[in-house]
A and B are shown apart, each in its own frame.
Chain A
Amino acid sequence: MLVYYSKLAWRHILQTPVLSLLIVMAIALGIGASMTMISYYKAMAHNPAEDRSESLFAVQLAAYGNDMEEWGGRPDGLPIQLTHQDVKNLREAELSFPRSGMHQFMTVVTSQREGVAPTNDYAGRFVDRDFFNMFDVTFLYGEPWSTQVDKEGEKHAVISKSLSEWIFGEADSVGKTFVMIDGEMLFTVVGVYEDFNPQPAYYDLSTSNFPSDGPGVFLPYSMVDTLDQFPMGNISGWFPEEINTHEDLRKSEYVWQVFWVKLDNEEQREQYRNFLKAYSEEQHSLGRFQNPNPRGDIKDVATWLEYNEVINEDNKVMVGLSLLFLLVCLVNAVGLLLAKFLRKMNEAGIRRALGASKRQIFSQYLVEVGMLGLLGGLLGLVLAAFGLWAVRELYETDIARLDPTLFAGALALSLFASLLTGILPALRVCNSNPSLFLKAQ
């Protein structure tokens, strides 16, 4: 039966090519626009930590003065970054959880290849060795520096494959040395990793949420005190401090670093929360953290992404707008379907007179509507691919891609929407009085 209805439907579609095309186009445009915006939105809302999301926690502290209830412009009044002093204390706390302090810096690397000028295209980042495991950095050669280096500091470096190729002309450079920082310091490569640039860059949302390049070189955080590299990123303060040297910045109350800790279960989380509470109170009694409510907080990756408003307003507005557009397209499709079916009312009348039941006529027209919907959905996906190309060009981003999971969703949505819109016109057709049309012949 379905095959026969499909054949009939296809014949009808071909009999009214202009109207059918308009209906398919209306559905396709609505699906295309909404799929484009939803795909882009989904890409931005992506949680790159996946199964590690619930065990990785960003740490925040209310490190500010007594006359302020809150600071940092966030709903809970906690800044998203930390002072150097606090990161130092958190790192040195007697807790066995994997953790990493970090901040980004700009650096100039010298190539060992002939005729290549030094570059500052590769961003540097101070981290602890746990970072690589916590944030799933894939090592191609070598391994992270030792825990000893985390404590005492050493000019060890973990570099990206691209940087290794840029400096040495080869991917495996473990054990080799290269020049960086002030054009004279020698660093030893201990590991080379597959280029690392998760989108959004959840490990540090204080600079850019969707950087075009990830870090090129990681140095041990334990070297922050000796290398004197000013951060490339946000520095915020709640009271004026004169900063002339790197030491001034390290001793200041300016926040400019980020700290993450890995806590696998609720027990550990509770333990860490208690630790932060005790730490805040201790700092309060030492004369820092003078706001009335000394406190700290930990947030897992999913919460952190939302808290930092990684998805901007424009994307939300565009998704809403595209759904309204889809609604208009569907209202439009209802009208066009009515017009289309009306032309076929005579035929419905004849079929009714020849014994077809209302039910049969109704289901036959729904099959036709469903076909139009599926055609619209497929065309909509093609339009969405084009729309996403436009988004990539406009935003110069690479993340807006057609999500395969949305593929089925788009087809299902267009089928559902078309069936929904098709009910009214199909009812009109099957409720028509056969004798009227027979007479009109």
Chain B
Amino acid sequence: MALGPIFRSTLRNPTGAVLIALQIALTLAIASNTFYMVKQRIDKMNRDTGVVNEELLTARVFYFGATVDQKAQADIDRKTLMDIPGVKSVSYSNSIPLGGSNNTSSLCFEQEMNDGGEENCPHSPSYYRSDVSFHETMGLKLLAGRWLNESDAIDSESISSTASRTMLLSDVLAKLYFPEESAVGKQLYLGGRPLTVVGVYERMLRPGTGGSNPDHTILAAEPQTSGYLSIRIETDRIEQVKAELEATMVGLNDQRVVSVIRTLDEVAERTYRRDKAMVVLLLGVVALLLVVTALGVAGLVSFTVANRKKQIGTRRALGASKRDILGYFMSENFAITATALLLGGFLAYALNQYLLQSYQLSRLELVYVFIAAGCLLFISQMATLLPALRASRVSPAIATRTV
């Protein structure tokens, strides 16, 4: 296929070509950035929580009776719930992964927090306080050291600032604080209190959406009696336990309200609602954009075809085959689209630069530009096919009718 005549004829009447190119370039810039944003959101929603999502049921327990012995009640709750078929483990904790309430605190090398600032206290992990069965309920994986046991447990009502404690770190955090050696046995300061690291677990996400360091968590044994109740149940029993939980708990003690009863999957769904909404909206706009672009290309090629009917007829009369005509329009579109995609690549990069500066988005990976470009090339060629086929059917006799 000779490209020369194609170029010359395109240049002679460039309006259509320019419009197609502009539209495709803009579409590429928008689509590649959007694909990238969608990918980031999906990665966020799919990240490993570190816990056994599908087996967890959670609820908030809030006492209003002033005279309740909450500690004794927590033991009764545990015993009663463990007797329900399918229940594997029960814990009370201050917060749950992806859930509502979040306690964070600076974790420091030295006791005096005002010394050294960033260097002394580089990170602020989320702090899970719970009974010693929490790791079992959550299904955490131990990488080093040991789990918490009864001797680590400190009653949360008798906290004093000098009490020595123990804790477990998430793997990410352990490596950040002790890159060269094992964290087990080391001492760190949490809000000015010394804590000895007794173990390292693989991961457990922070409460809420997790921010930029969702893996920064620590776990300490401070039995809670209210707050979040987590129950690990065989997945197929979870709905049944969920339906009866409020009645069971209030039946045991009516001086409390048991609310927000949700499986961890439901908790996750609520936490990621904004991200999911964003993904749906972004994909919706891109889908519409591609449809509009396809229709636009088809419309403009029809326009060109209609414009050149006489020339097509003349070429056919001079011996060009239908295939030649089809090939001509397909190659013309290919050339225009390719040029537009090159321009669009720069536009995509410029748009990404703008997004980088204005919002906390990361640098566009080139692969998304290529994916979007591939999609567009395909769509553009498909949209050209129909009008090009129509062009190839132009009768050579047209050439004789005019002039």
Asked if chains A and B come from one complex, the reply is yes
A residues with CB within 8 A of B: 19, 22, 25-26, 29-30, 33, 65, 67, 106-108, 117-121, 181-184, 239-242, 244, 312-314, 316-318, 321-322, 324-325, 327-329, 331-332, 334-336, 338-339, 342-343, 390-391, 394-396, 424, 428, 439-440
Q: Tell whether, in the assembled complex, residue B114 and residue A67 are in contact, meaning their CB atoms are under 8 Å apart.
A: yes
Contact status of A336 and B299, CB under 8 A, knowing A321-B34, A331-B19: yes
Residues of B within 8 A of A239 (CB): 113-114, 192
A63 CA / B273 CA spacing, docked (Å): 35
Contact of A108 among B37, B62, B302 (CB under 8 A): B62
Q: Tell whether, in the assembled complex, residue B19 and residue A335 are in contact, meaning their CB atoms are under 8 Å apart.
A: yes
| Those of B256-277 within 8 Å (CB) of chain A | 257, 259, 273-274, 276-277
Q: Tell whether, in the assembled complex, residue B26 and residue A396 are in contact, meaning their CB atoms are under 8 Å apart.
A: no
Task: Count residues of B near A (Cβ-Cβ below 8 Å).
Answer: 61
Residues of B within 8 A of A119 (CB): 257
Q: Tell whether, in the assembled complex, residue A183 and residue B66 are in contact, meaning their CB atoms are under 8 Å apart.
A: yes
Residues of B within 8 A of A391 (CB): 277, 281
Q: Is B212 part of the contact surface with A, judged by Cβ < 8 Å?
A: no
Q: Tell whether, in the assembled complex, residue B66 and residue A26 are in contact, meaning their CB atoms are under 8 Å apart.
A: no
- Where chain B touches its partner, the secondary structure class is helix
Chain A nearest CB, measured from B38 CB (Å): 12
B residues with CB within 8 A of A: 15-16, 19-20, 22-23, 26-27, 29-30, 34, 37, 62, 64-66, 105-106, 113-114, 117, 157, 159-161, 190-193, 250, 254-255, 257, 259, 273-274, 276-278, 280-282, 284-285, 288-289, 292-293, 295-296, 299-300, 302-303, 306-307, 355, 358-360, 402
Q: Tell whether, in the assembled complex, residue A338 and residue B292 are in contact, meaning their CB atoms are under 8 Å apart.
A: no
A403 CA / B379 CA spacing, docked (Å): 36
Contact of B402 among A118, A318, A439 (CB under 8 A): A439
B102's nearest neighbour on chain A, judged by CB, is A234
Q: Tell whether, in the assembled complex, residue A328 and residue B278 are in contact, meaning their CB atoms are under 8 Å apart.
A: no
Q: Tell whether, in the assembled complex, residue B27 and residue A328 are in contact, meaning their CB atoms are under 8 Å apart.
A: yes
Q: Tell whether, in the assembled complex, residue A182 and residue B66 are in contact, meaning their CB atoms are under 8 Å apart.
A: yes
Chain A nearest CB, measured from B277 CB (Å): 4
Q: Tell whether, in the assembled complex, residue A336 and residue B296 are in contact, meaning their CB atoms are under 8 Å apart.
A: yes
Chain A nearest CB, measured from B189 CB (Å): 8
B296's nearest neighbour on chain A, judged by CB, is A332
Residues of A within 8 A of B29 (CB): 324
Q: Tell whether, in the assembled complex, residue A321 and residue B285 are in contact, meaning their CB atoms are under 8 Å apart.
A: yes
Of listed A327, A334, A396, A424, residue having the most chain B CB within 10 A? A334
Chain A nearest CB, measured from B129 CB (Å): 13
Contact status of A328 and B359, CB under 8 A, knowing A22-B299, A67-B114, A183-B64: no
Q: Tell whether, in the assembled complex, residue B117 and residue A67 are in contact, meaning their CB atoms are under 8 Å apart.
A: yes
| 6 A/B residue pairs, CB under 8 Å, sorted by A | A317-B355, A317-B359, A318-B282, A328-B30, A342-B307, A394-B276
Q: Tell whether, in the assembled complex, residue A334 and residue B113 are in contact, meaning their CB atoms are under 8 Å apart.
A: no
Residues of B within 8 A of A322 (CB): 285
Chain B nearest CB, measured from A51 CB (Å): 32
Q: Tell whether, in the assembled complex, residue B276 and residue A321 are in contact, meaning their CB atoms are under 8 Å apart.
A: no
Q: Tell whether, in the assembled complex, residue A242 and residue B160 are in contact, meaning their CB atoms are under 8 Å apart.
A: yes
Residues of A within 8 A of B257 (CB): 108, 117-120
A239 CA / B273 CA spacing, docked (Å): 34
Residues of B within 8 A of A184 (CB): 65-66
Residues of B within 8 A of A439 (CB): 402
Contact status of A183 and B65, CB under 8 A, knowing A244-B159, A317-B37, A332-B23: yes
Residues of A within 8 A of B299 (CB): 19, 22, 332, 335-336, 339
Q: Tell whether, in the assembled complex, residue A65 and residue B114 are in contact, meaning their CB atoms are under 8 Å apart.
A: yes
